[in-house]
Amino acid sequence: MYNGVPVLDVHGHVSVPASANALLVLMMGSNTPMASPIGQATAGPAGVTLEDFRAAALGHVRYLDERNIDVQVIGPRPFLTMGWMEPHLIPAWTRYVNDMIRQQCELFPSRFLGAAMLPQDSAAPDLSGCVAELDRCVRDLGFVAAYVSPDPAGRRTTPGMHEPYWFPVYARAQELGIPLIVHGTNSLDPRFRVVPHNYQLGFLTEQYLAGQFLSHGEVFSRFPELKVIICHCGGALDRFIPTDHHLAQRDLSGNLFYDTCGYDLNFLEAAVKQRGADRMLFGTEAPGSGRAVRPETGRTCDDLVPVIGAFDFLSEEDKIKIFNANPARVIPALGKIR
């Protein structure tokens, strides 16, 4: 809670026992798709039980409690989407991940809402192969959003997010009334190898490029009801003033949004000021990459409620927009959980 108002977090990822990912190793090792074990009578890979999943999800709930977060949208772990796998393996892995997301939401229905992973294939003619899984996740599993990676193969070979390649997913997301959450995934650029956890570099570059392509292209003219959330404050900030022609001179305030998942205080402050409070949605990725401890507070840097609450350049109305009203406007199901 923030001053009696529920805090709604649009950026979270599923928490599972580490051994649950053994299915991925088995599929890649055998080069064979395998059925999702979730909901089956026997335990899944490595003997993972429902109680094991419950313990992982409970740890996630406790983590949120410690950070004053009431409800969180959870999707796939981006660095484990594995979009560079053999294409015939991606749908089976995607289905299993989505089943695990649904299971966590069912275990704690007042705390989590699901966002789908899609079986994106960078080499496919378009993303029509994702529509069936998107339908399943929204219509059968009750998911409220879907994650998309700007470059799932990690080789910068995927068409830009303004290109027709993406239109089947845009059309169906608009029809279903759900937002798309743009989050980078893996990067296989060999230059990045010197940097640990170098997928983070892919997050920054691909998310920023996505924002540029979407704002300059005609996506929102073709799909005027489509809503897109770009994670990590958009990846990077613009260095031009708002009236500069390098930036799209159009009003996208009803279509393009950003989350607050930036941990450096100067960066986060600049992002909120540049994007504007009306387009910022509270997001933390807790628990995730924000576990480093701030020396001045002794708290992890993903403990963002007190950080944003202390921003004196924001009015109280703006803070409540970021924590609650904006997430509930873009993802209406968030505001309905009690």
Domain ranges of the chain: 8-336
Distance CA 232, CA 234 (A): 5
Q: What is the structure's pLDDT at 75?
A: 98
Query: In a 10 Å sphere around its CB, with 0-12 CB exposed, 13-18 middle and 19+ buried, how is residue 139 labelled?
Result: exposed
Rounded to the nearest 10 degrees, the angle between the axes of helix 90-107 and helix 22-30 is: 170
* Tokens linked to 9: 């977090």
Distance CA 229, CA 115 (A): 12
Q: What is the structure's pLDDT at 168?
A: 98
Per-residue pLDDT of the chain (338 residues; tens, 9 = 90+): 999 999 999 999 999 999 999 999 999 999 999 999 987 766 666 678 899 999 999 999 999 999 999 999 999 999 999 999 999 999 999 999 999 999 999 999 999 999 999 999 999 999 999 999 999 999 999 999 999 999 999 999 999 999 999 999 999 999 999 999 999 999 999 999 999 999 889 889 999 999 999 999 999 999 999 999 999 999 999 999 999 999 999 999 999 999 999 999 999 999 999 999 999 999 999 999 999 999 999 999 999 999 999 999 999 999 999 999 999 999 999 988 76
**Phi and psi at residue 120, to the nearest 5°:** -75, 135
CA distances, 61 to each of 81, 163, 283, 286 (Å): 23, 39, 15, 10
Distance CA 80, CA 21 (A): 9
pTM of the model: 0.96
Q: The domain at 8-336 falls in which architecture?
A: Alpha-Beta Barrel (3.20)
Residue 182 near residue 148, CB atoms below 8 Å: yes
* Block residue for tokens 């796939």: 76
> Chain centroid to CA 189: how far?
22
Distance CA 324, CA 335 (A): 8
Q: What is the structure's pLDDT at 335?
A: 85
Q: Which residue type sits at 74?
A: I
Query: In a 10 Å sphere around its CB, with 0-12 CB exposed, 13-18 middle and 19+ buried, how is residue 36 labelled?
Result: middle
Residue 183 near residue 231, CB atoms below 8 Å: yes
